[in-house]
Amino acid sequence: MIDTLRVASWNSANAFGDHERLKGAIELFKSLDADTVYVPETAKPEGFEERVATMQDRLSADGYTLLKACGYYRGPRPYGHREHVMSIWSRIEGAEADTFRAGKRNAIESSQAGIEIIAIHQEDHNSSDRAKTAADVLSKLPNNQIPQIIMGDFNDMDPNDERAALLRMVRPGTELFRRNQADSLEYYGKKDTISEKLVRVSSLGIRLSDMSAGRSLSAYHLAGFENADELLLPTVGVGRSGKPRYKIDHILGRDVHFSNHRAHETDLSDHSPVSVTVRGA
């Protein structure tokens, strides 16, 4: 048992499977200086064993061991154009991890230093799917005064977030709608046809509106989980070079105390890493 645990979550957008971003991703991972690091999108499944071996080789000197890696939808060898591999790493002796099904995707559960951790990457297209994930996760975590953490890419905004409230008011013709549309058109590239761009932009707008409802976050809050980030700092933008505008990466806790929360800047992914120090209540 230790007094505190530093945890971090970073959707790297497969940076550890990209040769051009790998070195920077390893350096950023180390700079988080967290006891436990969860990476929702570590790499695509093809050649993942080699990626893990490289990561282990470069992280072992800092005390990190891979606890678990699995695909969103399937087992250790997933395939499919929307499939990614998520992984959780720790430098805590005796830490363990396993997977379970939460909604349509896999999730990881881990016991470390007397704290129960659930690592998730919720569906990004449907709030009903995210609500089902929340129900499955909460069924894994009975309210028994054991310190508990849920962290990862929730693809959902906190309903108390002012940005979420603004998105719920977005309508065609408003300035916010035009700005989101312009950013999205720029991000989706000059090579796409106009029709392809419009389809993507429309999809993004629908998804953001859906996320702004915060259905899963409401369920977690109702069950007693509090957000580690009281300021709800944005963690995701439009494209890797875009400034973060929305917060969908969260660390939640029940029967814990949080301190020193950070959202770390990076251009290696469209998501910012988040980290926080945790101790039991």
Nearest to 66 by CA among 83, 48, 80: 48
Q: How far is CA 188 from CA 180, 191, 194, in A?
A: 12, 8, 10
Share of the chain above pLDDT 90, in %: 61
Distance (Å, rounded) from C-alpha 138 to C-alpha 190? 43
Question: CATH number of 5-158+213-280: 3.40.50.970, 3.40.50.1970, 3.60.10.10, 3.40.1190.20?
Answer: 3.60.10.10
pTM listed for this prediction? 0.87
As a whole number of Å, the end-to-end CA separation of the chain is: 14
- Average pLDDT value for residue range 53-78: 84
- Residue 62 above 80 pLDDT? yes
What are the tens digits of pLDDT across the range 130-146?
999 999 999 999 877 88
Query: How many of the other CB atoms lie within 10 Å of CB of 238?
Result: 21
Distance (Å, rounded) from C-alpha 101 to C-alpha 80? 18
Nearest to 33 by CA among 14, 7, 52, 57: 7
Q: What b/e readout covers 210-234, taking b as 16+ CB neighbours within 10 angstroms?
A: bbbbbbbbbbbbebebbbbbeebeb
- Average pLDDT value for residue range 172-178: 56
- Residue 175 above 50 pLDDT? yes
Q: Dihedrals φ, ψ of 171, to 5°?
A: -140, 150
What value does the mean pLDDT of the chain take?
A: 85
Nearest to 157 by CA among 148, 171, 170: 170
What are the tens digits of pLDDT across the range 72-117?
876 444 445 567 899 999 999 999 999 999 998 999 999 988 899 9
Strands 274-280 and 5-9: antiparallel
